[in-house]
Amino acid sequence: MGLSFHGVEKSYAVYDRPQDRLWEWVLRQRRHRMHVALTGVEFAVQPGETFGLVGENGAGKSTLLKIAAGTIRPTKGEVRRDGRIAALLELGAGFHPEESGYDNMRFMAALHGLEGDAMSAFVESAVTFSELSDESLKRPVKTYSSGMFMRLAFAGATAVEPQILIVDEALSVGDMHFQKKSLDRILALRDRGATILFCSHNLYQVRSLCQRAAWIHGGLVQEMGPTEGVVTAYEAHERRRYIHLRQDVPPVPSTESEGAAHIGSEVIQGGVPLVKFLSLKTETAEGVNMSQLESFEDMSVEIEVESYTSDPFHVALAIVRPDKDNVFGTGTQMRADKQVLSGVGRHIVRVRFPAIALLSGKYLWSVYVLDDSGFQVIDMAELIQPFTVLNRTRQEFGLVMLDHEWLSPPLGVNNSHVSSPVDQGGRI
Ligand SMILES: Nc1ncnc2c1ncn2[C@@H]1O[C@H](COP(=O)(O)OP(=O)(O)OP(=O)(O)O)[C@@H](O)[C@H]1O
C-alpha cells in the first residue's frame, strides 16, 4: 500500500581526505569512520495521502527522500513502493547537456520503457507542459537558462502519471507562473489518489498540503503525526535553537518602517510577485493604526493589495506574537463561501474583529497573498505593525480571553462550609 519504510537506516563512510579512499583500497586498512545519517525509520504513507518531512539542515531528509526514490540504498531495513514512482529530486541531474531538449525527453521516455507512439505521447506531453519554444527544444540543454532547464526537468519527471511522488522543494521551480503550474499538477495528482512524500523548508506549504508529517532530527524521527502538532513542535525547537545560537533574541521591529524591511518581493523567488501586498491599516474608535489598544475594543483591519494579473488569489492575515507564535490566522480561502479575489488593479480586504479578545501583550501582523488554491505564497509581509494591547477591565491573564462559564459552585451560593473533592485537593 503506497509507500512504507521498515527499520530504515543509512550510514555514510566519511573520509577525512579524498585520497584516504584510495589508500584504504590499496592498503586494505580502514581509513574511514561511519556517519549514521538516518536510523530507525518506520512509517507508511497511504495512497492519496500527502506526508510532509520537516527538519533542520543536515537532519537526514534528503537521505530519506533518496532512499524512498530508490536512488540510494539503505544500509539496513527496506522500503516498499506500491506503484509507479516519480521523484522530483535533483531535477535534471540525468540530463545530457550536449543533447537537445527533445532528445533528453526521448531518453527519459526510454528510461520509462516507452517506445513508438507512447514515446511520442510522453515527449509531446512534457514539451507542452514546459512551455519551451520549438527553437529552444532543438538546442542543447546546456544552453538553457536555469529556469528553462528546471521547467523541462519538472515536465519530464511528471509526464508519466506517477502513483507515488517524491517532492523536494520542487515547488520553487521556475518563475511564479510555472511554480503555480507545478503546484497545480502536484495537487491534481494528489486528488487522483497519488501517494506524496513532500519535503520543504516552507512550513506554510507543509501545513497546507500535508495531512501528516514527520520531524526528522539528527537522523531520527523525532515526532510524527497530524501535521499541525508536528510542525508546531519543530517550530518551537527552531525558536529555542535560534535563541540559544544568538544569545540575544533578534530585535522585533518596533516601528512600522522597521517592520517594512520584511515586506515584499525579495521573499519571492523568480522576480516580481504577480499580486503585491501594499498596506495594512487597523482602525478602532480611538483612531487609525494605533500602536496601543484596549482588550475588547472593536477593531477593523483593511489590507490593500495590487494585482498585475487577472488570476484569482486569496489574502490571509495573522496576529502573531513577537516570538512568532501565531495567535490567530484566517484568510479569504477559509471563508464559508471561499470567495476569491481577481482582476488587475487594487483590491481591498476588510475584516472586523468585534470586541477583540486579545489580552495584555505585544502583537504584530503577518499578511500573505496566496494563489487561488490557498497553498502557494505569492507575496507576504511578516511581523509588521507591532501593537500593544492592554487589558484594563478584566483580571484574567494569558494571550486571549476564552469564553468560559463557572459551573461549580453555583452562582450566588455561599459555600464556605461545603467542600468538594476538588477543593480538598487545594484547587478551585
Ligand atoms: N554522501 C554522503 N557522504 C557522507 N555524509 C553524507 C552524505 N550525504 C549526506 N551526508 C550527511 O548525512 C546527514 C544528513 O544529510 P541530508 O542531506 O540527508 O540532510 P537534509 O535534512 O536533507 O539537509 P538539508 O535540509 O540541508 O537538505 C548530514 O550530516 C550530511 O552531512
Mean pLDDT by 10 residues, the chain (428 residues): 90 82 79 86 93 92 92 93 84 84 93 89 92 94 86 88 84 71 86 91 84 94 94 82 52 38 35 77 88 91 91 93 87 89 93 94 92 84 88 87 88 53 35
For ligand 1, atom 28, which residue shows the shortest CA distance?
Answer: 58
pLDDT for residue 423: 38
Cα 168 to chain centroid distance, Å, stands at: 11
C-alpha 93 to ligand 1 mean position (Å):
18
Lookup: cell for 314:
486569496
What is the identity of the amino acid at 122?
A: F
Domain ranges of the chain: 3-241, 256-390
C-alpha 56 to ligand 1 mean position (Å):
11
C-alpha 324 to ligand 1 mean position (Å):
28
The pocket around ligand 1, CB under 6 angstroms, is made up of 12, 14, 35, 37, 55, 57-63
For ligand 1, atom 7, which residue shows the shortest CA distance?
Answer: 12
Nearest atom within ligand 1 for CA of residue 66: 18
pLDDT for residue 394: 86
Are 160 and 112 contacting, i.e. CB atoms less than 8 angstroms apart? yes
3-state secondary structure the chain: CCEEEEEEEEEEEECCCCHHHHHHHHHCCCCCEEEEEEEEEEEEECCCCEEEEECCCCCCHHHHHHHHHCCCCCCEEEEEECCCEEEECCCCCCCCCCCEHHHHHHHHHHHCCCCHHHHHHHHHHHHHHHCCCHHHHCCEHHHCCHHHHHHHHHHHHCCCCCCEEEEECHHHCCCHHHHHHHHHHHHHHHHCCCEEEEECCCHHHHHHHCCEEEEEECCEEEEEEEHHHHHHHHHHHHHHHHHHHHCCCCCCCCCHHHHHHHCCHHHCCCCCCCEEEEEEEEEECCEECCCEEECCCCEEEEEEEEECCCCCEEEEEEEECCCCCEEEEEEHHHCCCCCCECCCEEEEEEEEECCCCECCEEEEEEEEEEECCCCCEEEEEEEEEEEEEECCCCCCCCCECCCCCCCCCCCCCCCCCCCCHHHHCCCC
C-alpha 28 to ligand 1 mean position (Å):
27
Angle at Cα 160 formed by Cα 154 and Cα 163, nearest 5°? Answer: 100
Lookup: cell for 62:
534528503
How many CB atoms are closer than 10 A to CB 311?
19
How many CB atoms are closer than 10 A to CB 55?
23
pLDDT for residue 244: 57
C-alpha 162 to ligand 1 mean position (Å):
26
In terms of Cα–Cα distance, which of 215, 155, 221 is closest to 186?
155
C-alpha 364 to ligand 1 mean position (Å):
36
Nearest atom within ligand 1 for CA of residue 14: 4
Are 284 and 290 contacting, i.e. CB atoms less than 8 angstroms apart? yes
The torsion region of residue 43 among left (phi > 0), alpha (psi -120 to 50) and beta comes to beta
Return d(Cα 94, Cα 420) in angstroms, integer.
73
Are 316 and 330 contacting, i.e. CB atoms less than 8 angstroms apart? yes
Nearest atom within ligand 1 for CA of residue 63: 18
Beta bridge partners of 265: none
Return d(Cα 267, Cα 255) in angstroms, integer.
20
Lookup: cell for 199:
519535503
Which one of 36, 63, 166, 200 would you pick to mutate in the ligand 1 pocket, going by the greatest count of ligand atoms within 8 A of its CB?
63
Which one of 62, 67, 202 would you pick to mutate in the ligand 1 pocket, going by the greatest count of ligand atoms within 8 A of its CB?
62
Measured in residues, the chain has a length of: 428
Nearest atom within ligand 1 for CA of residue 201: 25
Lookup: cell for 413:
451560593
What's the CATH number for 3-241? 3.40.50.300
Q: Classify burial at 107, counting beta carbons within 10 Å of its beta carbon; exposed 0-12, middle 13-18, buried 19 or more.
A: middle
C-alpha 92 to ligand 1 mean position (Å):
20
The fold of the 256-390 domain, in CATH, is Coagulation Factor XIII; Chain A, domain 1 (2.70.50)
C-alpha 35 to ligand 1 mean position (Å):
10
Which one of 9, 11, 21, 61 would you pick to mutate in the ligand 1 pocket, going by the greatest count of ligand atoms within 8 A of its CB?
61
How many CB atoms are closer than 10 A to CB 381?
25
Nearest atom within ligand 1 for CA of residue 62: 22
Are 367 and 317 contacting, i.e. CB atoms less than 8 angstroms apart? yes
Cell 513508438 sits on residue: 116
Nearest atom within ligand 1 for CA of residue 10: 12
How many CB atoms are closer than 10 A to CB 21?
13
Return d(Cα 198, Cα 49) in angstroms, integer.
10
For ligand 1, atom 11, which residue shows the shortest CA distance?
Answer: 37
C-alpha 168 to ligand 1 mean position (Å):
14
C-alpha 298 to ligand 1 mean position (Å):
51
Beta bridge partners of 35: 12
Nearest atom within ligand 1 for CA of residue 219: 14
pLDDT for residue 413: 60
CA 213, 217, 223, 227 torsion-angle sign: negative
pLDDT for residue 221: 95
C-alpha 27 to ligand 1 mean position (Å):
28
In terms of Cα–Cα distance, which of 313, 308, 356, 346 is closest to 332?
313
For ligand 1, atom 31, which residue shows the shortest CA distance?
Answer: 58
In terms of Cα–Cα distance, which of 217, 249, 268 is closest to 381?
268
pLDDT for residue 150: 85
Whether the model clears a pTM of 0.90, i.e. scores above it, the answer is no
In terms of Cα–Cα distance, which of 262, 208, 132 is closest to 371?
208
pLDDT for residue 242: 60
C-alpha 61 to ligand 1 mean position (Å):
8
